[in-house]
Structure 1
Amino acid sequence: MDRIGFLGIPDVTAEAQQIFDEDVAEVGYVMSVSRLWAYQPATVTGLFALLRQVNAGDRLSPRQRSVLVAAFASAFGDSYCSLMWGNRLAQAAGAETAAGVLKGVDDGLDDSEQAMAAWARKVARDPNGTTEADVQELRDAGFDDSQIFTITAFVALRLAFSTVNDALGLRPDAPLRSTVPAVVRDAVTFGRPIDDVEDEA
């Protein structure tokens, strides 16, 4: 492998190697996204620290975060995050529900989750097009203004991450072809295709 997305392979620093080692421990291989961000491992580490900081007060649950990422990533056209987080949502809520969210159909979610998914799609597609009525829908679903800020900042920071990955040609990791439920995989009809080549650990 001599390229990662549209770029060449960056030098592997000690910081990058630490991220690689964490990938292998967590998923069994080095993710393409980690290889890309090896250009600035401190930046991606800082970004995810910022995401944790955003969530520190209101504590979005893992399921809620999965709903938000699956909804915004599919609306944004990011196949990588849609597959990764669609898989996580499938584990939390079932594969059919996760596939529905990726297609913009939220019947398997509760009312508060449906409001979150709808808001995440609006932020991804047209943040300047949101209205006070859209925010009121979140309030009506039980979220206070602090939580609404948390949800929005979380989605916006994930969008920044996705934008870099997508713009630089990153493709979803080859193992996702077999580890993601078929119904979830089939729902991702957008973005870049799954990579053909298994990465090396």
Structure 2
Amino acid sequence: MSIIRTVPDDEATGRLAELYADDIADQGFVAAHTRVMGLHPEAYDAWEALITAIGRPMGKRRYELVTLAAARGSHSRHCRLAHGRRTLTLALFDVDQLIRIARDYGDADLTEAEVAMMAFAEQVSVDASVMTDADSQRLRDVGFSDREILDITLAAAARNYYSRAVQALAVDVDETPGISEELKVALVAGI
């Protein structure tokens, strides 16, 4: 149970009611993180605008892989489950490959560049303070431009912001309809 009191569905008004309705239309339920973060709709909308600005130039596949890796590094069950489901909804991977990515992205038939990108994003979440030029150079060596490295870094750092806020507020981890038990276990193993 979140440490923040949330507004029941039938009492939500204005922008909060719209956020609830958007979640119901998108996934059939109001996510626990929406209930909490929606209490500050301006910040919620700013978050959405930031993620859109960061994610759009990256493309959906790259953005979701970075998000899954950053969520792994920050131990975010919330984001791993939500973005596992989103990755399936977007049909970026089939269930079997997504399970393999969740368990060990280094052995999941991803490109060398995708594996390097995910390792970088995960390290941003684990401890960015120990990163050096060598980390960025590994990304350059597999073909990423400086702008792409910036985008990967911003996506991972933004995921940290949201993950850590949700964790700090003890937001409930939603049941995630539409994904198998095997995938759920793979996504949250070790987190």
Using the size of structure 2 for normalisation, the TM-score is 0.88
Aligned position for 1:96: 96
Q: Share of identical aligned residues, percent?
A: 25
Please say if residues 87 and 98 of structure 1, whose CA atoms lie closer than 8 Å, have aligned partners that are also in contact.
no
Give ranges in structure 2 of 5+ residues lacking alignment: none
Q: Note if 1:5 corresponds to 2:15.
A: no
Aligned position for 1:106: 106
- Give the one of 77, 80, 83 matched to 1:82: 80
**Comparing both structures, which one devotes a greater share of its residues to helix?**
2
Please say if residues 67 and 155 of structure 2, whose CA atoms lie closer than 8 Å, have aligned partners that are also in contact.
no
**CA drift at 1:159:** 1.0
RMSD: 1.8
Aligned position for 1:198: none
**CA drift at 1:100:** 3.0
Aligned position for 1:70: 68
**CA drift at 1:179:** 1.6
Aligned position for 2:59: 61
Count of residue correspondences: 184
Q: Which protein, 1 or 2, shows the higher relative CO under an 8 Å CA cutoff with sep ≥ 6?
A: 2
Give ranges in structure 1 of 5+ residues lacking alignment: 192-201
Using the size of structure 1 for normalisation, the TM-score is 0.84
Residues 95-154 of structure 1: CA deviation (Å, up to 9, x unaligned): 233223333432221112111110111100010111211111111121100111111011
Q: Distance in 2 between matches of 1:19 and 1:138?
A: 37
Aligned position for 1:36: 36
**CA drift at 1:46:** 0.5
Aligned position for 1:157: 158
